[in-house]
Amino acid sequence: MVDKEKLLQFLLNARTKTYAGAGGKVKPVFKGSDQLEYREGDWFYRDVYYNGKGIFMGLEAVYYQEKAVWSMSYYGNYKGMSEEEMDKILRKALIANWQNVRIWKKVE
């Protein structure tokens, strides 16, 4: 079983090192997409996304010891602003707020 706090810390660190930090770009598997990757020990992160015409959509996945342990798909609409404006907002939000994020709540 994967430690949820370690998963969360890795995920947030990976997002900071890739999209938010403008790093991790690799040759995409799918035509027309962008792909970011980050590795830290037994952990591996991949983000495959499409961007254009005022929308973006993608899929993030986290692997631990070569096995998928978490995944999320996302979609956004930024019509009415430029890609550069949207990019600036998303990068700032990911960098500024990553330490305050909690995905899981304890249910009693």
Mean pLDDT of the chain: 86
Q: What is the pTM of this model?
A: 0.81
H or E element at residue 21: none
| 64 and 79 Cβ atoms separated by less than 8 Å | no
Residue pLDDT, tens place only, 1-22 = 889 889 989 998 999 899 888 8
Domain limits, the chain = 4-100
Whether 102 has a pLDDT exceeding 60, the answer reads no
Q: How far apart are CA 64 and CA 41, in angstroms?
A: 9
Higher-pLDDT residue of 82, 99: 82
Tokens describing residue 108: 């009693």
Beta strand ranges found along the chain (DSSP E): 25-26, 34-40, 43-52, 55-64, 67-77
